[in-house]
Amino acid sequence: MNIKIKKIINKKNKSKIVCLTAYSKNIAEIIDKHADIVLVGDSLGSVIYNYSTTRKVDLKMMLEHTKSVRQGVKKSLLVIDLPYNTYRNKSEALKNSKKAIKETKCDAIKIEGGTRVKHIVTHLVKNNIPVMGHIGVTPQTVKGKFKSKGKTKLEKQKLIRDAIALEKSGVFGIVLECVYGDTSKRITNLIKIPTIGIGASVNCDGQVLVTDDILGLTGAKIKFIKRYANIKKEISSAVSKFKQEVKSKRYPSKKYSY
């Protein structure tokens, strides 16, 4: 097992896990200093390409962005999302996982789904592919607006079954997205591997958010997003100053000219 993965597992019940997304080297090398896990998420579909769904993201996109991110990640565990329709069966999942790891030098892959993908997870793990799970709201399959999961008894039971199935299949951690607090607490206490929450309360072993969201670069209005900066304002200010200096012929001065 990858030593970085062992470190993540060992944080269970000891230290909260910090996970953030990155889609380029420049951002990756900044968050690498603070994160335990850097995720190249298929959320890049909406963040970078303005897609309405992650289903439009393909493997080529994921690989190219992960190659860039890899250059900026030295310390953290680097995980890549396998996009929609790239793990429909065991052979397809293995082929694409091997391709992802070989071409990007990432540490692990992440796939969405619970009991329906347990046979695929088992196959990948047997072939030495480290896998992170993802249950609750799964953007690759969701239709319509995102709705939290695990409030009703039936939903709670299903999510618990999914989590246990994934753990038995060999995942080293599970993302719980938009899962009701009591349910995420129950799951976290039941399984021996870490849970990483996104809109799933403080009860999880760690938290993940889209970096562009916490920096204020996106206008996403989702309950669980907290903005820690307003980078849009900073960019606007810098561009405005550049414009003024160009118009007034203050830039480029002799200092910035050959």
Query: b/e map of 184-209 (b: 16 or more CB within 10 Å)?
Result: bbbbbeebebbbbbbbbbebbbbbbb
Q: Contact 17/23 with Cβ under 8 angstroms? A: no
CA pair distance 130, 87, nearest whole angstrom: 14
Is-catalytic flag, 234? no
Q: Give the pair of three-digit tokens for residue 154.
A: 């039936």
Extended strands (E) in 4-115? 17-21, 37-40, 77-81, 108-110
Q: Which residue in 167, 177, 234, 245 is the catalytic one? A: 177
Of 130, 188, 180, 118, the residue nearest 155 (C-alpha): 180
CB count within 10 Å of CB 117 equals: 25
Q: Give the pair of three-digit tokens for residue 128.
A: 């030495």
Q: Give the pair of three-digit tokens for residue 225.
A: 């997003």
CA pair distance 37, 76, nearest whole angstrom: 5
Catalytic residue set: 177
